[in-house]
Amino acid sequence: MLPSKTAASLAALTLLLSLTACAAAGGTDTDPTGSGASAGLGAEADAMLANYDIEAPASPTDLIDQLQAQPLAERPDGLMASVRVDALLLSVGDDEISLALPQDEFHLSIAPYLTDTHECFYHSLTTCVGELGGEDFHLTVTDDASEKVLFDSDITTFENGFFDVTLPAGLDITVLIDDGERSVELPLGTRTEDPTCVTTAQLS
């Protein structure tokens, strides 16, 4: 879903990212050890969250769920939380903490829309906002290779306009979103090069 050769173009890109309020591809090496997720967030992450009166949950996956469901009015100002393929990146200013996610899972956030959307590659739990918050949909996810249905259920978008689904990693998938009147079908993936944030799901 996002190179610049001059300082001016770099500044323009920075402004674009600020306006779209989502994260572009690239960035920090999120899990250099390849160790995968472990229980607890660690003292450093706990302290960073405590500065925003956020009680640290047991795991990075739980923190994703917690921040995603947070009402927009209660979003922490200054705390960035970016969902990468293998890690959740927490940052405040120049301070950044990488929390490893399970290596066999892929956390996908999708914002269906009718008219308004934005570019996004890595989902930002504290800044991304989609058009259709609190809306009901039926979601079907199918593995292209095996034709196995991985997910088939009703879902409701959070106040931020996104819904989440956790899928097996390393697949090519087809996603079908239906609101009863309109629908959209998307070819997506759950590989290391794929986005965790999908904002191209236009219903028609």
* Consecutive H or E run containing 189: strand 183-189
Q: Tell me the domains of the chain and their CATH numbers.
A: 33-100 (no CATH), 105-198 (2.60.40.3700)
**Whole-number pLDDT of residue 22:** 73
Residue of 99, 192, 115 lying closest to 161 (CA atoms): 115
What does pTM read for this prediction? 0.83
Can you tell me the mean pLDDT for 138-150? Answer: 99
DSSP assignments along 135-185, one per residue:
-EEEEEEEETTT--EEEEEEEE--TTS-EEEEEESS-EEEEEEE-SS-EEE
**Whole-number pLDDT of residue 25:** 61
How much of the chain exceeds pLDDT 70, in percent? 81
**Of residues 23 and 95, which shows the higher confidence score?**
95
**Of residues 66 and 10, which shows the higher confidence score?**
66
**Of residues 29 and 73, which shows the higher confidence score?**
73
- Tokens matching residue 134: 């609190």
Beta partners for residue 153, in sequence order: 139
pLDDT in tens, 117-138: 999 999 999 999 999 999 999 9
pLDDT in tens, 31-75: 433 444 445 799 999 999 999 999 999 999 999 999 999 999 999
Residue of 112, 113, 111 lying closest to 128 (CA atoms): 111
